[in-house]
Amino acid sequence: MKKYFSIASAAVILSLAAAASAQDTVTLRFYTTQPEATERPMIETCAAELGINVDATFVQGGVNNLMTELRALNTGGSLPDVFWMSSGFVAEFVLDGLLLNIQEYVDRDIMPQAENYFVSAFEAGRVNGDLYAFPNHFVHTVMFYNIDAFEEAGVPLPTTDWTWEDFRSAAEALTIDKNGDGLTDQYGYYFFGRYAHIEAWVYQNNGDWLNADKTAFEPTPEAVATIEFLKSLIDDGLAPTPAEMQGLPNPFTSGLAAMWLDGSWSIDTIRSNATFRFGVAIPPRGPSWQRDIAHGWSDMYAVGAFTQHPEESWALINCLTGPNRTADLVEAGKIPVYRPVAESEAWLELDKQPANKALLLEWAEFIGPNAFTPGWGEWRGYVDGAGLQGQLDEVFNGNRSIEEALNAVRTTVTNVLNRFYSN
């Protein structure tokens, strides 16, 4: 189901030059998955400021539905001027010629005031050195920890320079059989093969899944060592297998696990479900660590490659992502790319958990490489169990060796990327 509205203002038309007529007013077609209640007022404000009309379409059903609809619109020759863009689809859409290169606009309008933006968050929109999408807000992965559990076990809270060994020591102390029945009532950690659970560990051990130009699945020794370390947590009883947690409430929010690494967007979920105090920490550094690397990605806007109004389309994006974006329109763990909004007391929510939410802004400075490629969602997901997430879960469940799993993933990734790069 879709909802439509048109933004037009008599005040906008009257503000045009006297010689211009209403017919001269530019109308942009805009597609988004964002909630109408939050996005509509922003679009109205920007349309009025820019002296344009915006026909906005709110696509229900999430990012995948929007991406499918955009492709259908392109096939019919009616790709919108501006649309919401997922980091995981940028490379694919660029390869298919659907996104306008906006580097010149960013260089002109953003970089002279770069201090007002989290420039590291731009990377997810970059292909071959140029930007094709611009972030509205972004997220990264952090370690959530149960403060009450740490204090009860006498374990020091995580620091900004903690290592895998520090983490393992904490996990050991936090894995507890509370009633002496021989069953674990609280695990030190919980995870499975999802990208938000794994990639931060890989990058903090100086590893990678792909070759330098992202055209092949070539896990580095450091990436393999990361999976070995994570598997050892399960083998040693410090974390449950994915199969054991299948169908159960989130083990972290239910108190079954004292630590959980996931996207910063999870703050709202934890607030709604947990009954304990919690904090956020930087993912621990592995033995091959060389520099801090945050695994982060952005929710973005892009300009359609065939727009007749590139200047106005970029101006709309610039307006939607800058000072007009207010903190109350952004979810708790999603960081506005415009610094003054992110640094405001309204976004920091000083009266809510986690008390150290400002750490999200510090960690944002370290956003680095990512594994996004054309077809990323296919090879990183399940693909009937053949994707990386499904294969890693087989490893963590004890059904497959790491070597077998990565060989299977290599075949899947090769098949996916060959569809895009074979010519």
Looking at residue 309, which CATH number applies to its domain?
3.40.190.10
Residue 119 covered by a domain? yes
Residue 363 covered by a domain? no
Q: How far is CA 6 from CA 47, 61, 278, in A?
A: 10, 21, 43
Query: Lowest mean pLDDT: which of 24-33, 137-146, 243-252, 383-392?
Result: 383-392
Residue 364 covered by a domain? no
In this structure, are 130 and 14 located in the same domain?
yes
Phi first, then psi: what are they for 6, rounded to 5°?
-115, 135
Largest CA distance in the chain: 84
Residue 256 covered by a domain? yes
Contacts of 277 (CB under 8 A, 6+ apart): 146, 147, 148, 353, 355
In this structure, are 327 and 390 located in the same domain?
no
Count of residues in the chain: 423
Residue 365 covered by a domain? no
Q: pTM surpassing 0.85? A: yes
In this structure, are 330 and 410 located in the same domain?
no
In this structure, are 261 and 340 located in the same domain?
no
Residue 391's DSSP bridge partners are none
Domain coverage including residue 258: 141-295+370-421
pLDDT, residue 205, reads 98
Q: Are 71 and 97 in contact (CB under 8 A)?
A: no
**Phi-psi category of residue 61: left, alpha or beta, with phi > 0 → left and psi -120 to 50 → alpha:** left
pLDDT, residue 2, reads 43
Query: Lowest mean pLDDT: which of 20-34, 65-79, 183-197, 225-239?
Result: 20-34
Query: Lowest mean pLDDT: which of 20-24, 160-164, 189-193?
Result: 20-24
pLDDT digits (tens, 9 = 90+) for 19-60: 334 458 999 999 999 889 889 999 999 999 999 999 999 999
Average pLDDT, the chain: 93
In this structure, are 146 and 227 located in the same domain?
yes
Burial of 272 (0-12, 13-18, 19+ CB in 10 A): exposed
In this structure, are 164 and 284 located in the same domain?
yes
Q: Are 383 and 390 in contact (CB under 8 A)?
A: yes
Element (H, E) at 11: helix 10-14
Pairing of strands 27-32, 82-86: parallel
Across 305-325, average pLDDT: 96
In this structure, are 265 and 343 located in the same domain?
no
Residue 90 covered by a domain? yes
pLDDT, residue 267, reads 98
pLDDT, residue 423, reads 61
Q: How many domains does the chain have?
A: 2
Q: Is the pLDDT of residue 90 over 90?
A: yes
Q: Is the pLDDT of residue 14 over 80?
A: no
Give the type of residue at 172. Answer: E
Angstrom distance (rounded) from CA 200 to CA 195: 8
In this structure, are 61 and 16 located in the same domain?
yes
Residue 362 covered by a domain? no
pLDDT above 70 as % of the chain: 94
- How many beta carbons lie within 10 A of that of residue 326, not counting itself? 15
Across 231-254, average pLDDT: 97
Nearest Cα residue to 204 out of 137, 241, 158, 244: 158
In this structure, are 306 and 166 located in the same domain?
no
In this structure, are 228 and 374 located in the same domain?
yes
In this structure, are 308 and 224 located in the same domain?
no
Res. 11 pLDDT band, cuts 50 70 90: very low
